[in-house]
Amino acid sequence: MKIKNTEKIISPPPVHFVGDGFRVHNFIPGVYPLTMARMDPFLLLDYNSKYYFSPTDKPRGVGVHPHRGFETVSIAYKGRIAHHDSFGNSGVIGEGDVQWMTASSGLLHKEYHEKEFARAGGDFHMVQLWVNLPAKDKMTPPKYQPITNDQMGRYILHGDDGIIEVIAGSYRDVKGPASTFTPMALMNARLNAGGKAEFEFPSAYNTAALVVEGSVLVNGTEKVPSDHFALFSNDGEQFTIEAQEDSIVLILSGEPIREPIAAHGPFVMNTRTEIYQAFEDVESGKFGHLED
């Protein structure tokens, strides 16, 4: 097996707010070379680095907005998120949990800090990832996969190195619970100081790592500090991550779909005509109704 080298270590870009509840660094597609085409099938990665929100009786968040043509994956490291949609679905994403929402043919959605978390205030730390769908699946019915932390696959590393939490795909012989439309892997490496893990993905897969907490060495040489993003080249299969302190690293790797991407706001389709149709369908009520 050949070593998969880092192509670029990327510092967190300036923050901006999504609504009033998500203070994010937009890595994908906000920072070169992390375009949608380069990171295919990963369309967007918004990273809410750890941030303290003061107590409030009015939960902060994002009001009603539509989605079509892709999936949203919300990963909560700190804090709690409540969500509702136009098909009557709702739930709470707790610390350590994941919500995998397949928007596909379209829905209206809103998400807020969970009521009790908002009242108490506290650290909020999360990732939202958008995952593209193949053309043949973009108009399938919407669905949800709520994944609690105890449902994730767990691989115990050697000695006291740590664990790998598998959300999608597999690590060694441990599989994650998420069902995906195309081959991909999504996992948290929770490494103790000095802990080391080896990863292996096909060279053609687009692969990256986000250091959510701590600081790590990639392939024994490249230092990646907290809140930084490591993009890997498509030149090999294997790489290692070694924690210089207690660390959490989000690993993502996926097979490119290699289809045209037409993106506008909350819609990601294959043609501009399909984007125009999405706007018309929202206006005509085909996405349902949801109170803000």
For the chain, domain boundaries: 6-254
Instruction: Please classify residue 58 by burial: count the beta carbons closer than 10 Å to its beta carbon, then call 0-12 exposed, 13-18 middle and 19+ buried.
Output: exposed
Measured CA to CA, the distance from residue 147 to residue 169 in angstroms comes to 14
Output the pLDDT for position 1. 84
Question: Residue 119: which residues within 8 A CB-CB, separation 6 or more?
Answer: 55, 56, 57
Cis check: omega of the bond before 41, within 30 degrees of 0: yes
User: Would you say domain 6-254 falls under CATH 2.60.120.10?
Assistant: yes
Measured CA to CA, the distance from residue 153 to residue 151 in angstroms comes to 7
Retrieve residue 280's tokens: 């018309």
Retrieve residue 118's tokens: 């908002």
Report yes or no: 45 and 72 within 8 Å, Cβ to Cβ. Answer: no
Report yes or no: 191 and 245 within 8 Å, Cβ to Cβ. Answer: no
Output the pLDDT for position 292. 81
Retrieve residue 235's tokens: 């030149």
Q: State the Rg of the chain over Cα.
A: 19
Report yes or no: 226 and 9 within 8 Å, Cβ to Cβ. Answer: no
Output the pLDDT for position 59. 96
Output the pLDDT for position 29. 98
Measured CA to CA, the distance from residue 171 to residue 105 in angstroms comes to 31
This prediction has a pTM of 0.97
Output the pLDDT for position 173. 94
Low-confidence ranges of the chain (pLDDT < 70): none
Retrieve residue 29's tokens: 């597609």
